[in-house]
Amino acid sequence: MADEASTTDVQANQQTSGTQTGQSSDATTTAQQGADTATQGGGDSGTITDKGAGQETQGTDAGDLQRLREQLAGGDEKFLKHLERYKSVDAITKMVREARQAAQNAGKPIMLTDKSTPEEVKAFREAYGIPEDPAAYPGDFRQDFKASDADKAILGEFKQAMHSRHVPPAAAAAALEWYQDFATAQQQELDGNLVKVAKETQSSLRQEWGGEYDGNIGAINELMTSHLGKDGFEEMMSLRMTDGSRLQDHAPFVKMMAQIATDYYGSNAIFNGDIETTSKTLEEKIAETREVQTKDPEKYRSAQYQEYVAGLYAQKQKLDARKG
């Protein structure tokens, strides 16, 4: 019985020893990885070692701690020296745990969240090459892109926005490229609609006005140029509508201005080149007013008839000015 008990104890001790040896091997591997991670790029000094050193374990536990270090080091003197920085079992355990976490995250892209620390933000910006100065942020318009004044004004704001949101330069450049493609396509669509609306408006007005078309357009040009000047007139006529068409091709506006011009000049005949006919018609009307003055003085003195007479003389004055 004594021999059996002795044999059983020996087997149990061997199993226990084997289990401890396996655990020590796993711990040694993880700890060694932690040491490698901690010392990369900085010799023996690293974030993990500095933070996890702790206080030296005192008394008989110190001997156990040293034996644990030696067991983990597995004969690696450099690693043993590194482990001696950790002053307690808890400190070594924390180092192994952090090393394992670092190993799991190795190769994963750096991501920012609303809880990221300033240090993490700085590391992210450095990793993706985001400059400190927004003005140095990469990105500019292509040479073949016809940038408007509005486009040029927002480019600086675009860089500032990308910079403040920690957008990597490559992603910002892709966004700017998309904007240029979008803006170019949109402008082409608007320019195409300008041509389309201009042709449609001219065709419909020629059909509606017939022989009066040139006279109405001439009256509009004359009236607006006299009030706005040549440059002001051209600027106003070039104003773009939201669909890309110009103000001068907006049919309701053209009709309105034609009516105003005709009322102002009394007729559009003078803009059709028929000045003599128009002059003769005016002289005949003025002659009729003189007859009324003689035959019906009361009618001639009425406010309504006096307004009519004043309009005839105003029209004659404008006509005489065009005749030179």
What's the whole-model pTM score? 0.47
Give the pLDDT of the chain (324 residues) as one tens digit per residue: 444 444 444 344 444 444 444 444 454 454 455 445 444 444 443 433 344 455 555 544 778 888 888 888 888 888 888 888 888 888 888 888 777 766 665 555 667 888 888 888 888 888 888 888 887 776 788 888 988 888 888 888 888 898 888 888 888 889 999 999 999 999 999 999 999 999 999 999 999 988 788 888 888 988 899 889 999 999 999 999 999 999 999 999 999 999 898 887 766 554 554 445 455 566 778 888 888 899 998 988 999 888 888 877 877 776 676 555
Per-domain residue ranges of the chain: 2-105, 274-324
Q: Which helix (H) or strand (E) holds 91?
A: helix 89-105
Q: Which of 91, 92, 88, 162 is nearest to 131 (CA)?
A: 162
* Six token digits for residue 180: 């240029």
Count of residues making up the chain: 324
At residue 18, the pLDDT reads 44
Q: How far apart are CA 14 and CA 99, in angstroms?
A: 31
Q: How far apart are CA 225 and CA 99, in angstroms?
A: 82
Q: Which residues contact 311 (CB under 8 A, 6 or more apart)?
A: 266
Q: Which residues contact 115 (CB under 8 A, 6 or more apart)?
A: none
At residue 41, the pLDDT reads 41
Look at the block and give the residue holding tokens 């509606």: 208
Q: Which of 200, 207, 210, 198 is nearest to 268 (CA)?
A: 210
Coil, strand or helix at 210: helix
